[in-house]
Amino acid sequence: MSSGALAGSDGVLRCPWALSTEDYVAYHDEEWGRPVHGDDALYERLCLEAFQSGLSWITILRRREGFRAAFAGFEIGKVADFTDADKERLLADPGIIRNRLKIEATVANARVLADWPAGELDELIWSFAPDPAARPVPRTLADVPAVTDESTALSKTLKKRGIRFIGPTTAYALMQACGLVDDHLADCVARSH
């Protein structure tokens, strides 16, 4: 796809991926690419990106409240205390993606992060944000990478620290979603100038 920003039904230019549903429009306009800080907030995004692996993002987006309810609002300390009974409860919860490996990783990652000092996850993730001046502004979807050197390095660093389900592509999706990079297209209304 080499499409640039397109006008939606409201006449506003947006990234083409955002135009298929109202859920996407709201997510695109209000969240995607906006800076996210805080260990719990970044842990939530890390988990949701891992659950998205192999699925459409809309599937995760529409179940986000179910995920938040199932995983104690993604409070790292609470999820770190989940028991085997909690994992079984999650496997039976129709409000989330019931994938045993992803559920196990979500709990295991919380246990790893619970041992980190407050603010360390935020600091570590944001240390991989590239210099915006060194990145060309994407004009079309073809200009938006799936993986970068920074996402590969972030993935490797998180894996070395014990975090699971975080490959370079997932790391880059996290970077996009959390505003470490601005991949809104040049003519998109949400592009920060």
* H/E element, 155: helix 149-160
End-to-end CA distance of the chain: 24
Q: Which entry of 27, 31, 116, 126 is annotated as an active-site residue?
A: 27
Kindly state the tokens that stand for 132. Answer: 């915006």
Cα–Cα dist 141/162, whole Å: 33
193 assigned binding-site residue: no
- What's the full length of the chain, in residues? 193
Tokens of 150: 């920074």
- Let me know if 24 is a catalytic residue: no
- Given 17, 31, 57, 104, which residue is catalytic? 57
Please indicate whether residue 32 is annotated as part of the active site: no
Question: How distant, in Å, are the alpha carbons of 4, 26, 166, 188 from that of 143?
Answer: 10, 23, 23, 14
15 is in an annotated binding site: yes
123 is an active site residue: no
- Nearest Cα neighbor of 47 from 131, 121, 133 is 121
Residue 184 among known ligand-binding residues: yes
CA–CA gap between residue 20 and residue 42 (Å, rounded): 26
178 is in an annotated binding site: no
- Known catalytic residues? 27, 49, 57
Q: Which residues are annotated as a binding site for Zn(2+)?
A: 15, 28, 184, 188
Q: Which residues are annotated as a binding site?
A: 15, 28, 184, 188
